[in-house]
């Protein structure tokens, strides 16, 4: 009596394993991309939620503007950090409020390089830890995620 496997049996088992790997591997790559996207989106939502606290912690009024209209005087991030949304460094008039001097502050929002943010009207974060609320749209390729920030705590709620 012979113990072991024949060459034919080994080839059949290896071809079945190769077939299964060929079917699963492409889905595994898209799954890792989806997980990375979800983590980046969650990180952005947490950053938006933490902005009132960041203004309170730094004891500075801050204004969040669209990435296209933001001031260019703020420090530019390195390429590995992604695109940083800068805060306004000039006086601003927010929704009928009086002009508010805004001190230069580091931008607390960091986005991946292919993401952009659009703010309907500049959002004022006061040093006391509250904000005036507003609408924020995050564009990722052809996808657009709309967030509503309700005063006074400005916690992001997806629309």
**pLDDT value of position 7:** 92
For residue 44, what are the CA distances in angstroms to 14, 20, 140, 155?
A: 45, 37, 12, 12
pTM to 2 decimal places: 0.64
User: Domain of 63: which CATH number?
Assistant: 3.55.40
**pLDDT value of position 14:** 96
Would you say residue 51 lies in a domain?
yes
Would you say residue 1 lies in a domain?
no
Would you say residue 2 lies in a domain?
no
* pLDDT over 80 (residue 106): no
Sign of CA dihedral 30, 36, 37, 42: positive
* d(C-alpha 79, C-alpha 114), whole Å: 12
Would you say residue 88 lies in a domain?
yes
Ranking 4-8, 11-15, 50-54, 81-85 by mean pLDDT, the lowest is 81-85
Number of domains in the chain: 1
Would you say residue 21 lies in a domain?
yes
Would you say residue 77 lies in a domain?
yes
CB-based contact 105:138 (threshold 8 Å):
no
* pLDDT over 90 (residue 149): yes
Would you say residue 122 lies in a domain?
yes
Domain region containing 39: 7-158
**pLDDT value of position 76:** 43
């Amino acid at each position: 009596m012979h113990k072991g496997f024949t060459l034919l049996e080994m080839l059949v088992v290896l071809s079945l394993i190769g077939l299964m790997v060929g079917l699963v591997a492409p889905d595994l790559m898209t799954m890792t991309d989806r997980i990375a996207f979800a983590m980046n989106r969650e990180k952005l939502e947490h950053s938006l939620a933490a902005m009132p606290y960041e203004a309170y912690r730094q004891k500075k009024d801050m204004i969040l503007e669209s990435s296209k209209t933001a001031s260019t005087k703020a420090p530019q991030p390195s390429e590995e950090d992604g695109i940083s949304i800068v805060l306004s460094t000039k006086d601003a008039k927010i929704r009928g409020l009086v002009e508010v001097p805004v001190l230069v502050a580091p931008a607390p929002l960091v986005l991946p390089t292919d993401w952009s943010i659009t703010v309907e009207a500049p959002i004022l974060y006061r040093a006391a830890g509250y904000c005036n609320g507003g609408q924020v749209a995050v564009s990722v390729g052809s996808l657009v995620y709309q967030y509503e920030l309700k005063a006074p705590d400005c916690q992001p709620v997806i629309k």
